[in-house]
Structure 1
Amino acid sequence: MTRRVVITGMGVRAPGGSSTKEFWDLLASGRTATRPISLFDASAFRSRVAGEVDFDAQKEGFSPREIRRMDRATQFAVACTRDALADSGLETADLDPCRVSVVLGTAVASATSLENEYLVMSDSGREWLVDPAHLSPYMFDYLSPGVMVAEVAWTVGAEGPVTMVSDGCTSGLDSVGYAVQLIREGTADVVVAGATDTPISPIVVACFDAIKATTPRNDDPAHASRPFDRSRNGFVLAEGAAMFVLEDLHAARRRGAHVYAEVGGYATRCNAYHMTGLKRDGREMAEAIRAALDEARLDRTAVDYVNAHGSGTKQNDRHETAAFKRSLGDHAYRVPVSSIKSMVGHSLGAIGSVEIAASLLAMEHGVVPPTANLHDPDPECDLDYVPLSAREQRIDTVLTVGSGFGGFQSAMVLHRPEVVR
């Protein structure tokens, strides 16, 4: 019998809040957390707005040595992991460590620390030959993404499979999807999974400036992220993280755990077409959606809410709209769809997990988060994108999707365990 996998704990660090509760309060109110970049001097850049997390590592309980050793993204992941474990009620000391696994997603890993250390060694780029006398003893930690997931594994005490997933902006969905597979196949009983990214650094901002993917709307940062709006002109870069505790449904029920949702289905596809371009018909995303619904054994009409990728670029919004119509048929016009990137920006590899958290909380509270800043919808995006204000509604099943450079398209179906027996 196939094991049914549920989420019993979560932790979030996102723009506009330093906890899961503050994250949800922001989304439910329709407020935005995008603002001028403050983490470095961005005056020379085309896009100077971002979704920053107000994160104090000392207040989060990190020691000075841990702060020196861990990249900011790693700190986010560890902090969220601690919250997720506490939320789940699991005592790791009571678990067989060989049956506990970790899967972590990221897009740019420790890019922030790598850049900072290069600037120190090169005297802010003035020296072509860097001085190794100024080399940090933790440079390897910053170079190897595997160190990030190892830190989470040490936090959990996990001795089962520990895996890093890095396939761009779908990493946060794909890490959780892989975690589900580990439990279903019997390799692990508990998996801590999610994603983290802290890309607000000069090198990453410059990369997106070069391809003009981010918005230049610097004079109005609070309203710069405008998914599905006629006036959108690029996404807002952000940082963030979300981690989850996943376990077998029957085990969770035996110990009386609170179940946020069952992960009913997951699928991912690639368009094998272009590094940054998307086909307008949305075929690959539509195929991932259909496969995820089939795995969940649900008809498309069972979807109560779609958490869109909704990055705020014209080609993504139109591609995604086409994918929803192609996969959901007429139901696409009846189901509410929204993008939380309008409020918290796009945290690259982390956003898929942050959006899973938003989906779980939407189910928990019976509220569809809005698409903020949507005043003038693109005529080609003619679905119900829940503009400006949240909407109260019972939600039993959520479809959450992601789209990433490289042509990656992923979809996940989350539902109450009672929906499928």
Structure 2
Amino acid sequence: MTRAAVVTGIGVVAPGGIGREAFWSLLTEGRTATRAITHFDPAPFRSRIAAEADFDPLEAGLSYQQNRRMDRAAQFAVVSAREALADSGLEPESTPPHRRAVTIGSAVGCTTSLEEEYQVLSDGGRHRLVDHTYGTPHLYDHMVPSTIAVEVARDTAAEGEVSLVSTGCTSGIDAVAQGARCITEGTADVVLAGATDAPLSPITSACFDAIKATSPNNSDPGHASRPFDADRDGFVLGEGAAVLVLEERGAARRRGARIYAEIGGVANRSNAFHMTGLKPDGREMAEAITVALDRARMAPEDVDYINAHGSGTKQNDRHETAAFKRSLGDRAYRVPVSSIKSMVGHSLGAIGSIELAACALVIDRGVVPPTANLHTRDPECDLDYVPLTARECEVDAVLSVGSGFGGFQSAMVLRRPAA
């Protein structure tokens, strides 16, 4: 019998509220969590807004020592994994430790801690040669992104495969895909799969300022993230994490687990074109969508909702609109499409798993989140982007896509498991 991976637990740390239910309330109410940056002084930067998570590690259940040891991104991942495990109803003794795996994605690793340590070691940038004696004993961990996945494994007693996936802004989709492969190949019975990033730091702001990718709409941060809108002017940085519990479908049913969704098909492509640029025809993303549907043994007509990458840059929104038309044909005009980045910002590698958490909840609860701030129709973006207000509808299959620097294009199909 073919093994299939299903989602039985969801944990989220996101802007606008900590936890799965706060996240879902934000999305379905169409609220935005973008605001002026408070993590550091943003005055020197072109874009001074972000979607920050109101996260206190001690209130979230971490110990003082964990708070000292872990980077903010690792803290997000551990807290999300704990919530996902609790949601799944799995008992700790139900699965041998060597049959539990962890796959975590991250685009920029421990950026927050590295930035802070550089400031200390260089005395605020005054010294070109840094003094290592001022460094935290955990500095090595911050320099090796895989320690984020290790922290999740340590906290959940997972002794199977532990890996970190870093493919830029598709890391969240790709890490969940890796976790699903562990299930379908039989190398694990339970996988904690997701992604995390806490990129809100001066170095990240400077990098995106340099290429003018982020929105300069500092006077109105709540309306700055405007995917598919004619007046969009760049994306808004965010932070957060989401972790999904994946199990084999038959085993999940035998224990009576609540199954949110089944992972139907996954595919990846690269445009081999430009580090940050995208071709307007969307061919590579379209190919990833077509292959993901083929692997799920589904047709374009079977897709009930598309969770778009929807970053809010001119080239990305045109690119994926073309990709949907190219891969789905006429169905592209009849299926709702939305971008939750309009509400929670773009958390780089984490956003793919945050979006997959939203997709699983869409299938489970029958509500499609809106694209917030979409007021002015762009003639080049002429699909149904669910403007402003959530929509109740039965959803049996969701397509989620991601696009990342380096030319990465990923697509995943989630669907309601057959009875």
Partner of 1:376: 376
Partner of 1:222: 222
Q: How does 1:11-410 map to 2 (within 5 A)?
A: 11-410=11-410
Cα distance in 1 for partners of 2:371, 2:34 equals 14
Cα distance in 2 for partners of 1:320, 1:196 equals 24
Task: Return the offset for 1:133.
Answer: 2.1
Cα distance in 1 for partners of 2:146, 2:375 equals 43
The residue type paired with residue 298 of structure 1 is M
Cα distance in 2 for partners of 1:229, 1:140 equals 43
The residue type paired with residue 44 of structure 2 is A
Q: Secondary structure at the match of 2:268?
A: strand
**Contact residue 373 and residue 388 of structure 2 kept, 8 A:** yes
Task: Return the offset for 1:152.
Answer: 0.5
Cα distance in 1 for partners of 2:317, 2:234 equals 11
The residue type paired with residue 79 of structure 2 is A
The residue type paired with residue 154 of structure 1 is R
Q: Secondary structure at the match of 2:17?
A: coil
Cα distance in 2 for partners of 1:201, 1:150 equals 23
Q: Secondary structure at the match of 2:66?
A: helix
Task: Return the offset for 1:28.
Answer: 0.3
Cα distance in 1 for partners of 2:320, 2:135 equals 45
Cα distance in 2 for partners of 1:137, 1:155 equals 20
Deviations 1:14-65 (A, max 9, x none): 1101111010001001110000000000011000000000001111111111
The residue type paired with residue 43 of structure 2 is S
Cα distance in 2 for partners of 1:160, 1:112 equals 28
Cα distance in 2 for partners of 1:2, 1:162 equals 24
Comparing 72-81 and 183-192, the one that deviates more: 183-192
Cα distance in 2 for partners of 1:57, 1:5 equals 31
Q: TM-score, normalised by structure 2?
A: 0.99
Task: Return the offset for 1:156.
Answer: 1.6
**Contact residue 95 and residue 189 of structure 2 kept, 8 A:** no
Task: Return the offset for 1:361.
Answer: 1.2
The residue type paired with residue 240 of structure 1 is G
> After TM superposition, which residue ranges in structure 1, 4 or more long, deviate above 2 angstroms?
none
Cα distance in 2 for partners of 1:155, 1:68 equals 15
Task: Return the offset for 1:92.
Answer: 2.4
The residue type paired with residue 104 of structure 2 is L
RMSD: 0.8
Give 5+ residue unaligned stretches, structure 2: none
Q: Secondary structure at the match of 2:191?
A: strand
Cα distance in 2 for partners of 1:262, 1:55 equals 30
Comparing 151-160 and 250-259, the one that deviates more: 151-160
Would you say how many aligned residue pairs link Structure 1 and Structure 2? 419
The residue type paired with residue 81 of structure 2 is T
Cα distance in 2 for partners of 1:91, 1:273 equals 47
The residue type paired with residue 180 of structure 1 is A
Deviations 1:353-404 (A, max 9, x none): 0000111111122111000000002100000001111111011100000000
The residue type paired with residue 288 of structure 2 is A
Q: TM-score, normalised by structure 1?
A: 0.99
Task: Return the offset for 1:2.
Answer: 2.0
Cα distance in 1 for partners of 2:155, 2:264 equals 28
Deviations 1:87-139 (A, max 9, x none): 00112222111111100000000011011001011110011221222111000
Cα distance in 2 for partners of 1:132, 1:342 equals 41
Cα distance in 1 for partners of 2:67, 2:122 equals 22
Q: Secondary structure at the match of 1:153?
A: helix
Give 5+ residue unaligned stretches, structure 1: none
Cα distance in 1 for partners of 2:12, 2:324 equals 27
Of all paired residues, the percent bearing the same amino acid is: 66
